[in-house]
Amino acid sequence: MKNKTNLVFMMVIVGMICAVVAQAADTKGRYFVTIHDSQKNPLVGVTVTLTSVESAEKHYSIETNESGKALIVGLDPDMYKLKVDKEGYQYLEGTVKLRPGVNVKHEYTMLTIEEARDKAIQDKLDNMTEEERNNLFAKDAHNAGVKAYQNNDLDTAEAELTKAISLNPNVHYVDYLILGQIAFNNRELADAQKYLSKAKELDVNKEAIADISTLLGATYMIQENTDKAREIWSEQMQTAPDPTVLHSLASIEVRAKDLDTAIKWLTLSCEKFPDYTDCIQLLGDIYIQKENYPEALNAYKKLQEKLETRTDIAPETLKEVKDTVKLLEETVK
């Protein structure tokens, strides 16, 4: 009986010693990882890298097998930086805490570069309000429309810019200016006036006031609404004088028999745009009509001087101007 008791005691002691030895031996960590794609298919050849946060010398790397699995054993207990990488896929990063004798298991889904981009965009959109989304889409349509217009693809430009202003009516004055130009070229004057008026409203810094107002006034001239054209162009002249518009304003006043106002516009043109010969000639003609021949002579002499320096003037045109100068000189005498 005593021998039996001693045997049992010895077995207990041996078991305790083995357990202590085994526990002492199991001082390393183990890391199990499974990688698959967005369709839950295993990904082979994914590089899994663990690098100690404390020491870069503790660096372990392995690739997943055909089952998309990888096992790294014999790791010192520590905090590790994790990187999961495969060509054509968005890499993953994180941290892993390894403890003695503890198996750490992780499972990851890797997205292709395209899938990751689309997910990032969708996540951003999901966190936006409807107004923010509309503004974003409007900006994209604006950029596409302007680019199409620059490439002379007017159909695409019109479609994209119409989309932009439907999503955000205040997206940019350029959208309305381009749509106004397209409508004007198609002789859709009511639409052109609507678009150009909105462009004028949005162009608070008057960056394109000359283009907008010149075209808007022209729509009313085609409709023979000279009062409205005069109103628009007169306002434009305060900030963005233009010689063609000044000539048009003077012509309106000539038809209205307000020659003094016509002279005012033409004099402004001669001051700001001294080489614009159409205004010089019209000014001379008005002075002839008013029988102010000395001023008419001054205007025509200036006209002759300008034309003689140009190579694009037909000889008969220059001859007519010279003949007028001679006639005015005789009249003034």
Percent of the chain scored above 70 by pLDDT? 92
Is residue 221 included in any domain, yes or no?
A: no
Q: Where in the sequence is the domain holding 45, given as residue range(s)?
A: 27-113
Q: Which amino acid is at 84?
A: V
Quick one: pLDDT band at residue 122, thresholds 50, 70, 90? confident
| Residue range 326-333: mean pLDDT, rounded | 91
Cβ within 8 Å of residue 94, ≥6 positions away: 81, 82
Q: Cβ contacts of residue 118 below 8 Å, gap of 6+? A: none
Answer yes or no: is 109 within a domain. yes
**pLDDT tens, 285-296?**
999 999 999 999
**Model confidence at 90: pLDDT above 50:** yes
Domain assignment of residue 232, yes or no: no
Q: Of 60, 95, 113, which residue constitutes the final position of a domain?
A: 113
For residue 303, give both structure tokens: 């006209």
pLDDT at 333: 79
Q: Which two tokens stand for residue 98?
A: 């390894």
pLDDT, mean of residues 26-37: 90
For the chain, the average pLDDT equals 90
Is the pLDDT assigned to residue 3 strictly greater than 90? Answer: no
pLDDT at 21 over 50: no
Poorest-pLDDT segment among 6-15, 55-64, 197-206: 6-15
Q: Is 82 buried (19+), middle (13-18) or exposed (0-12) by CB count in 10 A?
A: middle
Of 58, 83, 113, which closes a domain?
113
CB of 302 closer than 8 Å to CB of 280: yes
**Residue of 25 and 167 predicted with greater confidence:** 167
Looking at residue 46, which CATH number applies to its domain? 2.60.40.10
Q: Where are the alpha helices (DSSP H) in the chain?
A: 2-25, 113-126, 130-150, 154-167, 173-185, 189-202, 209-222, 226-236, 243-255, 259-272, 277-289, 293-308, 315-332
Sign of the Cα torsion 146, 152, 156, 161 reads positive
Residues 6+ apart with CB under 8 A from 62: 47, 48, 70, 71, 72
d(CA 312, CA 141): 43
Could you tell me if residue 138 is inside a domain? no
CA distance 280 to 297: 11
Q: What is the pLDDT of residues 237-266, one digit of tens each?
A: 998 999 999 999 999 999 999 999 999 999
Total structural domains within the chain: 2
Q: Is residue 219 part of a domain?
A: no
Sign of CA dihedral 315, 321, 322, 324: positive
Return the pLDDT at 13. Answer: 52
Q: For 101, left (φ over 0), alpha (ψ -120 to 50), or beta?
A: left
Residue 80: predicted pLDDT: 94
Residue 281 exposed, middle or buried by CB count within 10 Å (0-12, 13-18, 19+): buried
pTM to 2 decimals?
Answer: 0.67
The pLDDT of residue 11 is 52
Question: Alpha carbon 258 to chain centroid distance?
Answer: 47
Q: Is residue 12 part of a domain?
A: no
**Using CA atoms, how far apart are residues 254 and 263, in angstroms rounded to an integer?**
9
Residue 291 sits in a domain whose CATH number is 1.25.40.10
In-domain check, residue 122: no
Say yes or no to pLDDT of 18 above 90: no
Residue 5, domain member (yes or no): no
Cα distance between residue 145 and residue 175, in whole Å: 8
Residue 248 CA to residue 226 CA, distance in Å, equals 10
* Domain limit, last residue, from 113, 128, 156: 113
